[in-house]
Amino acid sequence: MSDSSLLNSTERLLNSIRKSTPAPAENMAPTNFAEQSVSIEHAQKKSMCAGILIDEGFIAMVLSGTTRASQTRELLKWSYVMIPESMNPGHVRFAAFLKNTLEDFLGRFRHAQIWTAVDTKYFKLRNIIIPDIPESKTANAAIWEFKKEFEILPDQEIFDYQIKGDIQVDGIKKKKVVAFSAEKDQISLLISLFSKAGFPLAGITALPFAFCNFFSNGIIPNKAPVVLTNVSRYYSNILCLSPTGVLLVRNIKTGALSLIEDLIEMDMENKEQNNRIDISEILNFDTLNPLFDKMSPSSDRLISKIVRTGDYCSNNFTANAPMEEFLFFGETDNCEAFIASAREQIPNKVSLFNPFEGDDISSSLKINPPLNPSQRNGIIPAYAISLSSNEDTPNFLYTYEHKKIEAKQRKINSAIMGICAASLLVCLALGFWLSALEKEQIQRIAQIDLQIAKYTPTVNQDMINTQILEARKKAAVIKKYTTDYLCLAVINEICSKTPDSISIISLDADFRSPLETGDNNKKAFQKRSMVLNGVVKTDHTSMESMLTGYIIKLGDSPFFQDIVLKDKKLETENNESHLIFTAVMEMI
């Protein structure tokens, strides 16, 4: 069937509906819409969490957090963005589209945690009972029981579990466990998309767990189990929820399109055509409309499946306690006929699920909720996702394996801290011991000093004179040794500093002691001097530099100072040039 024929039949049906029951203005909200709470400015940054739902045809985003005035999370901002028809999550440019969408939505709140969820069709869950065994063996027992219900492929699925408490079975203590798994490809796809978009994920949960967040935040006030049904475009998701967690998950192929299949001629396989149909407007009629007779068989089948699911859950998971309430939301929100039919089959227990209603909610939100059913169908799950946290919500990025590794790391850290504490105690004990030993040694030294003080002779003038005489004798001996061996020391110094290319011709020195001259007020010493005659035998071009370096080297000696080069001349003998020099040096 062509596009034009489908649209024409839909238009004819809509025209007939509008003539009988005109659509309210609230259903005419734009497809791409956003709302922001005035309390977002007062929200605590560390508490902010963004729930992102990527579905067929749209991206729903909700930002929630706590404010200084509230103790529970509240909705701060939401946005609903249509995905272009030519694009899907597998498209090469979808990551760029997601990046722009998230940047526009978060703005300056990029620090918020990002959570998303896998679709329930890629998700398996079962409540099981396992023996009361040690925690290290719980995972294997949970997997074993889970495999009795579902086939699980470790290389294709991510498995996790949560312990819900203890139970007595025939007087034997056992554990209640909820075991679940999700397809690894879907998890990897979400991780890759958000990573490429520059917004790494803090968590990936499943929609049933996300809806349980409404219990912990008081949005679903019931303390008894409820059945929450999302009638979306292509399928219906039936969730049996309780304050303790998810009891049962069931997906059925009967969706909103199936309800209008008998009303208009349509190709169920053509998603491009079906995505353009405004189902909520088509289903906007009550039981008095003759169109309801055409839809009644399919809606009755859907409702009966929901009832049977609730009965099965009561018989198997709630000890025959009936479901407290049946909540509906999705594309059928505007269909009074469908809700009325559900109330006939489930008396006094059916109501529309709208987490944006209630006096407490409206006063704290100060935000316009989504009015279009299509938007609510995306914003409600995104709102549920935004209430997630690792403390309360299962996270496929933080499974039991990650917790096991983290527990090992905590044990290692505890062991290291224990070793450090023991080492510190040893050091403190050693410090106290050394301190005590030091005090003991100080006391012994003090005692020795007291004993020495008893025998120490008294210092007097005669003792001082004796010490002075002995010191002068030692100085005279040292001076005599210096005078006797000074010539050898000087000759050795000159020889050690004279290179092979310089030959010493003569050395004239006066090694007598310096003479003291002048009157008593101004005395001076006539210093000793030495005359050195030598010849430089080397290449003509390097004679001067060689001589200069030699003079500098002698000047660095502690024996000489004030070296003066008196004479130098160049002589040639047997075609060889020699530089003859005379240097006068003062000896210290």
In a domain, 426, yes or no: no
Computed over every residue of the chain, the mean pLDDT equals: 82
Q: What is the CATH number of the domain that holds 545?
A: 3.30.70
* Residues spanned by the domain of 259: 220-353
User: 360 pLDDT exceeds 50?
Assistant: no
Q: 224-263, pLDDT tens digit by residue? A: 889 999 998 888 999 999 888 899 999 998 888 888 877 7
Q: Which residues contact 304 (CB under 8 A, 6 or more apart)?
A: 345
Last residue of a domain, one of 353, 379, 413: 353
In a domain, 507, yes or no: yes
CA-only gyration radius of the chain, Å = 49
β-strands 226-231, 325-330: how paired? parallel
Least-confidence region, from 153-157, 304-308, 381-385: 153-157
299 vs 524: CA distance, rounded Å:
130
Residue that the structure tokens 């997997």 belong to: 143
User: 27 pLDDT exceeds 70?
Assistant: no
Q: Give the number of other Cβ atoms within 10 Å of residue 578's Cβ.
A: 16
Task: Report residue 364's pLDDT band, with 50, 70 and 90 as the boundaries.
Answer: very low
When pLDDT is averaged across residues 484-492 and rounded to a whole number, the result is: 83
pLDDT the model gives residue 19? 44
pLDDT the model gives residue 276? 64
Contact indicator for 335, 285 with CB cutoff of 8 Å: yes
pLDDT the model gives residue 244? 86
Q: 268-313, pLDDT tens digit by residue? A: 555 555 666 777 778 887 777 888 888 888 889 999 999 999 999 9
When pLDDT is averaged across residues 412-440 and rounded to a whole number, the result is: 92
When pLDDT is averaged across residues 30-54 and rounded to a whole number, the result is: 74
When pLDDT is averaged across residues 166-188 and rounded to a whole number, the result is: 90
Q: 507-523, pLDDT tens digit by residue? A: 888 777 665 555 555 55
Q: What is the CATH number of the domain that holds 291?
A: 3.30.420.40
In a domain, 284, yes or no: yes
β-strands 560-573, 172-183: how paired? unpaired
Contact indicator for 13, 264 with CB cutoff of 8 Å: yes
User: Residue 153's beta-bridge partner residues?
Assistant: none
Give how far Cα 54 sits from Cα of 64, 83, 212, 232, 234, Å: 18, 9, 19, 14, 15
Q: 344-358, pLDDT tens digit by residue? A: 998 878 989 888 875
In a domain, 55, yes or no: no
490 vs 500: CA distance, rounded Å:
18
Q: Which helix (H) or strand (E) holds 352?
A: strand 350-352
pLDDT the model gives residue 24? 39
β-strands 33-36, 113-118: how paired? unpaired
The angle subtended at Cα 37 by Cα 31 and Cα 39, nearest 5°, is 170
312 vs 309: CA distance, rounded Å:
5
Query: Considering its fold, how many domains does the chain have in total?
Result: 2
When pLDDT is averaged across residues 450-462 and rounded to a whole number, the result is: 72
SS3 at position 386 = helix
402 vs 408: CA distance, rounded Å:
10
In a domain, 418, yes or no: no
Least-confidence region, from 45-59, 341-355, 561-575: 561-575
Contact indicator for 120, 181 with CB cutoff of 8 Å: no
Nearest Cα neighbor of 176 from 234, 131, 237 is 131
259 vs 305: CA distance, rounded Å:
14
pLDDT the model gives residue 515? 59
Least-confidence region, from 197-201, 360-364, 368-372: 360-364
Buried b vs exposed e over 230-242: b needs ≥16 C-beta within 10 Å?
bbbbbbbbbbbbb
Last residue of a domain, one of 353, 375, 402: 353
Share of the chain above pLDDT 70, in %: 86
SS3 at position 586 = strand
When pLDDT is averaged across residues 479-490 and rounded to a whole number, the result is: 81
Least-confidence region, from 50-59, 183-192, 389-398, 446-455: 446-455
When pLDDT is averaged across residues 312-325 and rounded to a whole number, the result is: 88
State which amino acid sits at residue 466.
T
Least-confidence region, from 264-268, 320-324, 490-494, 515-519: 515-519
The angle subtended at Cα 250 by Cα 246 and Cα 255, nearest 5°, is 130
Give how far Cα 124 sits from Cα of 120, 159, 160, 226, 257, Å: 8, 9, 11, 20, 25
Helices (H), 78-134: 94-106
SS3 at position 374 = helix
Share of the chain above pLDDT 90, in %: 29
Adjacency order of strands within the sheet including 49-55: 33-36, 74-82, 58-65, 49-55, 113-118, 203-206
190 vs 437: CA distance, rounded Å:
67
Which has more pLDDT, 283 or 128? 128
Nearest Cα neighbor of 42 from 70, 79, 72 is 70
Q: Please give the DSSP secondary-structure letter assigned to residue 263.
A: T
In a domain, 552, yes or no: yes
pLDDT the model gives residue 15? 53
Q: Which helix (H) or strand (E) holds 178?
A: strand 172-183
473 vs 481: CA distance, rounded Å:
13
CA atoms within 13 A on the CB side of 191: 12
Phi (first) and psi of residue 504, to 5 degrees: -90, 125
Residue 586 C-alpha from the chain's centroid: 77
User: 159 pLDDT exceeds 60?
Assistant: yes
298 vs 305: CA distance, rounded Å:
11
Residue 341 C-alpha from the chain's centroid: 51
SS3 at position 370 = coil
Most confident of 58-72, 310-324, 355-369, 453-467: 310-324
In a domain, 131, yes or no: no
In a domain, 229, yes or no: yes
User: 125 pLDDT exceeds 50?
Assistant: yes
Residue that the structure tokens 């029981």 belong to: 145
pLDDT the model gives residue 271? 59
Q: Give the number of other Cβ atoms within 10 Å of residue 467's Cβ.
A: 11
Last residue of a domain, one of 353, 380, 409: 353
Q: Please give the DSSP secondary-structure letter assigned to residue 457.
A: P
Most confident of 80-89, 198-207, 267-276, 562-571: 198-207
User: 190 pLDDT exceeds 90?
Assistant: yes
User: 101 pLDDT exceeds 90?
Assistant: yes
| Whole-prediction pTM | 0.67
Residue that the structure tokens 């969490």 belong to: 49
pLDDT the model gives residue 30? 36
Least-confidence region, from 205-219, 351-365, 420-434, 543-557: 351-365
User: 1 pLDDT exceeds 50?
Assistant: no
Contact indicator for 61, 51 with CB cutoff of 8 Å: yes
When pLDDT is averaged across residues 534-540 and rounded to a whole number, the result is: 86
Tokens at 456, concatenated: 């120490």
Q: Please give the DSSP secondary-structure letter assigned to residue 69.
A: S
Which has more pLDDT, 477 or 222? 477
Contact indicator for 247, 253 with CB cutoff of 8 Å: no
193 vs 303: CA distance, rounded Å:
37
